[in-house]
Structure 1
């Protein structure tokens, strides 16, 4: 498969960001979508499948927890029920507790507004990663997930691709460096491309593109 055809196929079949699936319009750069994306990054960091993490993040929105303030009003029992219903049967209680510390830090350090973290980072990727990892439950993987998705609104971090995306890019014969990979698509399509690569990895669908 030609490189251009491969890119087209990836975008057509898998090119949907996880923020878009969540219903969080990151390009608007408003507090609620950014908060919901960070929650998804936290939930995806737990030892559960990606689709369960997405269901949990969507369930949070259905429960009305779309801002730090609304989440802070929830009870532990309510959170356990929501996470358990989304499939977090073994880690529901831990997550219900952990997300409170996570949320408290967001409110105390940034007034519940992640745009203040953006300003604090000043376009420095390493500073942004360190700030994200100060949130309870967010490690290297969670920080990378957030940055991969948020570049759709925070252009200073473009082009960013996490390890999962670059590993799949290499397997498919595409550049395994974010800067080189970004040259294959328009800037607006790059977040979709890296998300598509991650989706191919999660689905185990690499064979659809290899040796064709």
Structure 2
């Protein structure tokens, strides 16, 4: 199987984004970008991805920074609890409230204004994202991996986990060379799929198994 064919198979079988798993389609709109940010905050913690995704789905009841700020702390805790995000529910509920305050105060709740402030500089986007409470390096990588679908200046974004998955699949461990294997429109799904190869044992064997 050629590298291009391998890449296509990986996308086809494992290219579901975290956003899609959490029940929303990412577009360059304030609400969807905010939901991706919340999802990235939840995934920053040492917790199973499926639990973070489930909690993000529940927090979809507060799809904007303003709605998140207007929700009570207990409402946020309850939503996290319904998603079984119970170990860090109280601290995360506080962080989400503080993060909503920050976004509203600095960007009017619109992450596109953060993007504009960064002026197309990926490093600056990441620096500004670091100001969001509880959004660690892992979460920033997740946000950028998925946001590259709607923010072209992030492309190609293949972080260490994605590159590790590429190496596991026998593909180039180089972002530039990986980008040559698929269309730019598929970078986000390709990156998500490569991360899944890193995290899920046996997935690569399933993809490569004869039909």
TM-score, with length taken from structure 2? 0.93
The runs of at least 4 consecutive aligned structure 1 residues that moved more than 3 Å come to 206-212
Contact kept, 8 Å, 1:19 with 1:25, in 2: the verdict is yes
Q: Distance in 1 between matches of 2:208 and 2:182?
A: 20
1:79 partnered with 2:76: yes
Q: Distance in 2 between matches of 1:157 and 1:4?
A: 22
Q: How far is 1:198 from its partner? A: 1.4
1:51 paired residue number? 50
Q: Distance in 1 between matches of 2:168 and 2:208?
A: 8
1:37 paired residue number? 36
Q: How far is 1:25 from its partner? A: 2.9
What is the root-mean-square deviation of aligned Cα atoms in Å? 1.7
Q: Distance in 2 between matches of 1:115 and 1:4?
A: 33
- CA-to-aligned-CA distance 1:40-88 (integer Å, 9 cap, x gap): 0000001210011100110111xx2001111111111111111122112
How many aligned positions are there?
209
Contact kept, 8 Å, 2:115 with 2:125, in 1: the verdict is yes
Contact kept, 8 Å, 1:11 with 1:196, in 2: the verdict is yes
Q: Distance in 2 between matches of 1:105 and 1:99?
A: 10
1:168 paired residue number? 165
Q: How far is 1:210 from its partner? A: 7.2
Uncovered stretches (5+) of structure 2, i.e. residues with no partner: none
1:19 paired residue number? 19
1:91 paired residue number? 88
Uncovered stretches (5+) of structure 1, i.e. residues with no partner: none
TM-score, with length taken from structure 1? 0.92
Q: Distance in 1 between matches of 2:130 and 2:149?
A: 20
1:10 paired residue number? 10
